[in-house]
């Protein structure tokens, strides 16, 4: 069996250096180190240009050099995406194309000739037939979808073949939800546990398609990078990049795709709201956020000072003061379209007034930066901004957030996977020893908060180990 795994690594353009330092040390560098130490290891990486720019801005030259090395060594591929993590199905076609072009230009400038993406990753795996058509028309070879995007009329997905998205030239790969969820939720902590989890299919002539946030390994889940290291070393499974899968599997089929995301749950489909975490029609904050979003897009694009973006044309023609000011508004809009603000306003279950306010402020600012903005437009933008922020505070005051989270928790019980208790309890000792070493290193550096995180993770694994031992004894009796 072949395993294709995509890691999505992303930070918003406003991320502060201290947090970026922490995530880079805890996650990105560990993933890179595991690949360099294990030449058999291969990954597909999605690195949005917003993160690439941060690496450049804060002079992470070692990280960028290592990424270039792994690209040239054939151990990773980097996909194309939206530069600033825009939620592509809900923005106009012109904005989708611009986000993709920006991503390519920025990553190409920073990474150089080794950056030649053939595949595409939509932020949040937010897809639609229209987005797939745009990606295909722009010349990309393959695109990743969640398995719920697969047309159920075709029956079950068969992972022994290559599917082409109907009406396009795109190969469509479909992320397997259950095993992806078990990995990202740390239900499988090591290579042996992972192999035990897939034992029923490991001898099949098929591929395993997974995808998750790269920050899962080491940052969100301390010690989980050991799982990657183990699999990179294992002879029981072959790691491969998504871009190469069609070299191993020659059966072909076509399929229609549905609107979906990687956070989609079936009940949202029954409500005909596949993008509910980003635009719930019953969520007044979402409605106001998208009102401001479309207002900003409209105002920036219809400005009389709009010019051809020098970033695309490579022309250094002289711009007047108002045209330069329009470019500032344009670039602010590019960055303000990030999906984070809508996600954190969903209360399903994530909620952050800070992220809601920051996103609304960026959108408002993109309007206020326009050179010809008059009092009427200015007041409208500011009123929508205030309405968003005041509504968010009211949601907290009236406990609408708590009620929405509670409803979400009830709906998502179907997603919770029961951990298999057949793993060898001794396997947990290896993971615990790996974590203990990192805990002591953190303590020696007086990073006591991180050391405490490792300790809590160790305690959690010890509890799992006890449950497995208890379960095995119960079976014997």
Report the C-alpha gap between 367 and 333 in whole angstroms. Answer: 8
Q: Among 252-256, 290-294, 337-341, 420-424, which is the least confidently predicted range?
A: 420-424
Q: What string of DSSP letters covers 281-297? A: TT-HHHHHHHHHHHHHH
pLDDT of residue 425: 61
Going from N- to C-terminal start, the domains of the chain cover 2-264, 284-410, 425-476
Sheet holding 251-255, edge to edge: 119-120, 142-146, 171-175, 161-165, 251-255
pLDDT of residue 419: 43
Q: How confident is the model at residue 448 (pLDDT cuts 50, 70, 90)?
A: low
Report the C-alpha gap between 218 and 224 in whole angstroms. Answer: 6
Q: What's the pLDDT tens digit per position in 219-253? A: 998 889 999 999 999 999 999 999 999 999 999 99
How many beta carbons lie within 10 A of that of residue 312, not counting itself? 11
pLDDT of residue 443: 73
Q: What's the pLDDT tens digit per position in 255-283? A: 999 999 999 988 888 888 999 999 999 99
pLDDT of residue 393: 97
Q: What's the pLDDT tens digit per position in 150-170? A: 998 999 999 999 999 999 999
pLDDT of residue 413: 45
pLDDT of residue 391: 97
Q: How confident is the model at residue 114 (pLDDT cuts 50, 70, 90)?
A: very high
pLDDT of residue 466: 74
Averaged pLDDT for residues 285-297:
98
Averaged pLDDT for residues 437-459:
71
**pLDDT top residue among 433 and 364:** 364
pLDDT of residue 423: 56
pLDDT of residue 456: 73
Q: What's the pLDDT tens digit per position in 16-62? A: 999 999 999 999 999 999 999 999 999 999 999 999 999 999 999 99
For residue 410, is pLDDT > 60?
Answer: no
Report the C-alpha gap between 147 and 173 in whole angstroms. Answer: 8
Indicate the DSSP class of residue 423.
S
For residue 468, is pLDDT > 70?
Answer: no
Q: How confident is the model at residue 415 (pLDDT cuts 50, 70, 90)?
A: very low
pLDDT of residue 438: 67
Q: What is the mean pLDDT of the chain?
A: 91
Report the C-alpha gap between 80 and 83 in whole angstroms. Answer: 9
Query: Which tokens go with 384?
Result: 């929508």
Indicate the DSSP class of residue 162.
E
416 φ/ψ sector (left φ>0, alpha ψ -120 to 50, else beta): beta
For residue 1, is pLDDT > 90?
Answer: yes
Q: What's the pLDDT tens digit per position in 316-352? A: 678 999 999 999 999 999 999 999 999 999 999 899 9
Averaged pLDDT for residues 198-213:
96
In 3D space, the residue among 140, 182, 137, 133 whose CA is nearest the CA of residue 46 turns out to be 140
Please tell me the pTM assigned to this model: 0.88
Fold of the 2-264 domain: 7-stranded beta/alpha barrel (3.20.110)
**pLDDT top residue among 190 and 353:** 353
Number of residues written out for the chain = 477
pLDDT of residue 163: 98
Q: What's the pLDDT tens digit per position in 450-462? A: 667 667 767 776 7
Count the alpha carbons within 13 Å of 21 in the hemisphere toward its beta carbon.
5
Quote the percentage of the chain above a pLDDT of 70.
89
């Amino acid at each position: 069996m072949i395993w294709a795994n995509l890691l999505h690594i992303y930070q918003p353009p406003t991320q502060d250096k201290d947090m970026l330092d922490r995530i880079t040390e805890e996650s990105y560098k560990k993933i890179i180190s595991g690949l360099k130490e294990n030449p058999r290891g291969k990954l597909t990486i999605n690195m949005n240009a917003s993160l690439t720019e941060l690496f450049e801005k804060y002079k992470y030259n070692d990280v960028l050099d290592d990424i270039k090395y792994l690209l040239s060594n054939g151990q990773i591929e980097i996909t194309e995406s939206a530069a600033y993590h825009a939620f592509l199905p809900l923005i106009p076609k012109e904005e989708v194309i611009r986000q993709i072009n920006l991503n390519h230009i920025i990553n190409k400038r920073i990474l150089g000739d080794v950056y030649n993406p053939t595949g595409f990753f939509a932020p949040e795996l937010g897809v639609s037939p229209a987005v797939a058509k745009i990606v295909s028309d722009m010349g990309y070879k393959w695109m990743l979808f969640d398995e719920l995007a697969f047309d159920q009329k075709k029956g079950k997905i068969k992972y022994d073949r290559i599917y082409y998205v109907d009406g396009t030239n795109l190969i469509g790969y479909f992320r397997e939800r259950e095993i992806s969820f078990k990995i990202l939720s740390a239900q499988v902590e090591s290579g042996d546990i992972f192999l035990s989890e897939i034992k029923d299919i490991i001898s099949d002539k098929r591929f395993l398609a997974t995808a998750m946030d790269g920050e899962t390994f080491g940052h969100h889940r301390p010690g989980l990078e050991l799982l990657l290291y183990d699999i990179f070393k294992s002879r029981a499974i072959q790691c491969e990049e998504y871009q190469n899968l069609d070299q191993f599997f020659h059966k072909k089929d076509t399929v229609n795709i549905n609107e979906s995301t990687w956070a989609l749950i079936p009940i949202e489909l029954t409500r005909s709201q596949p993008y509910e975490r980003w635009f719930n029609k019953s969520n007044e904050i979402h409605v106001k956020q998208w009102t401001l979003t479309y207002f900003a897009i409209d105002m920036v694009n219809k400005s009389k000072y709009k010019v051809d973006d020098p970033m695309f044309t490579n022309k250094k023609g002289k711009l007047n003061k108002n045209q330069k000011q329009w470019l500032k508004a344009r670039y602010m809009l590019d960055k303000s379209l990030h999906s984070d603000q809508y996600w954190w306003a969903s209360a399903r279950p994530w909620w952050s007034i800070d992220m809601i306010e920051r996103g609304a402020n960026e959108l408002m600012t993109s309007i206020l930066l326009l050179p010809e903005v008059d009092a009427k437009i200015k007041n409208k933008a500011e009123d929508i901004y205030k309405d968003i922020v005041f509504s968010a505070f009211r949601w907290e005051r009236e406990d609408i957030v708590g009620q929405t989270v509670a409803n979400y928790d009830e709906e998502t019980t179907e997603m919770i996977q029961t951990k298999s208790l057949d793993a060898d309890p001794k396997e947990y000792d290896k993971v615990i020893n790996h974590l203990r070493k990192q805990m002591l290193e953190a303590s020696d550096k007086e990073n006591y908060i991180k050391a405490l995180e490792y300790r809590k993770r160790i305690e959690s694994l010890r509890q799992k180990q006890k449950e497995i031992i208890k379960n095995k004894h119960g079976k014997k009796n």
